[in-house]
Structure 1
């Protein structure tokens, strides 16, 4: 009995998609038939998803690259937004996230907002890992690549609990954003930012009060 699997691959690099396609076709099980559509940007991906619903044959698996150009209407800023949209209109589809980002903040954000069945960091990716991830996601999700797992492990074993805003402060500081500009990014007052930074420095036992030391300690614990 053959198993038909409908797949949408979303990535703005045609060569990468070709590699994914070849790997899956070459490593699929004998009873699996793969039907693959390709979208190179958010708008194409939305059109494919909507059409699959109209036809009554929704996708089973979506491969979503996080770094995508925004949609023309500006509502989708990245693959992250696209995956959240897919979650609402294709609730049964398995989502595999592929990304170059390996910062702790981004990884946690994606797991919290999307909870993907597969999560692969492109720099970890080999064709055998892609094939394993695909089969695992179909039968026994989730499948996370090594970098993702080590970030999760680090933050679980750390006894420091940090909320979303504090995580974002660490992330923005690591990107070189000055303290005076943090308030605008976070939608809170400058004094609230200062208060949170002070809490963070206490949490991470930063003696010298320097932002660099705070980031160094946060990195060791897997928060940046």
Structure 2
């Protein structure tokens, strides 16, 4: 279990110990940052006792060498060194852009938004991920449904443009975030406004339409 708030991990542990099935025995290691998590993962590989399941919070202090900056980085690393381990992502982030990226890059067996989480849902997610994954919380399922039913298809860079605009980043500063030219940013914004049928040309109208379709 990887989370930088010990009291949250204590709650997870108590819930699982109380609700586990009779034949299940839980052996839990706890990491509060990226360095501790990496050390545990490497130890499990070296000792040939790989983890069955990882609980990973997205927002974590970075590793001391700067190579791991979040739980997302850790989960991607775990996919390489612990290919048989199931991953449950737990996060406060509920923006569509972040959810999309996590599903695309990690494809977790479990994906829980902390604001949705109850002890009964955590217990259900744990059992479902072990026996019949995936298990996604309500916010994640809602995003997936909106994305599937929308007739608008946009690529990752355009998703990031929408996300950054929604965070208040000015158009002139988008290029540095996206590693493309300002003219390319302007062209992509024009395409997005055409896709979402924005007649007044305003960024705020674009953002409102993107939110309604589940892209932000």
The answer as to 2:39 corresponding to 1:51 is: no
TM normalised by structure 2 equals 1.00
Residue matched to 1:27? 19
Deviation for aligned residue 1:54: 1.0
Which one of 127, 130, 137 corresponds to residue 138 of structure 1?
A: 130
The answer as to 2:92 corresponding to 1:103 is: no
* CA displacement, residues 184-211 of structure 1 (integer Å, 9 cap, x when unaligned): 0000000000000000000001111110
Residue matched to 1:113? 105
Give runs of aligned pairs for residues 180-199 of structure 1, distance below 5 A. 180-199=172-191
Deviation for aligned residue 1:146: 0.3
Which one of 154, 158, 172 corresponds to residue 166 of structure 1?
A: 158
Which one of 42, 62, 73 corresponds to residue 70 of structure 1?
A: 62
Give 3-state SS (helix, strand or coil) of 1:72's partner. Answer: coil
The answer as to 2:155 corresponding to 1:155 is: no
Deviation for aligned residue 1:105: 0.3
Q: Which has the higher strand share?
A: 1
Structure 1 unaligned regions, length at least 5? 1-8
CA separation in 2, counterparts of 1:53 and 1:77?
22
CA separation in 1, counterparts of 2:106 and 2:180?
25
Give 3-state SS (helix, strand or coil) of 1:95's partner. Answer: strand
Superposition CA RMSD, Å: 0.4
* CA displacement, residues 140-185 of structure 1 (integer Å, 9 cap, x when unaligned): 0000000000001001100000000000000000010000000000
TM normalised by structure 1 equals 0.96
Runs of 4 or more, structure 1, over 6 Å off, are none
Structure 2 unaligned regions, length at least 5? none
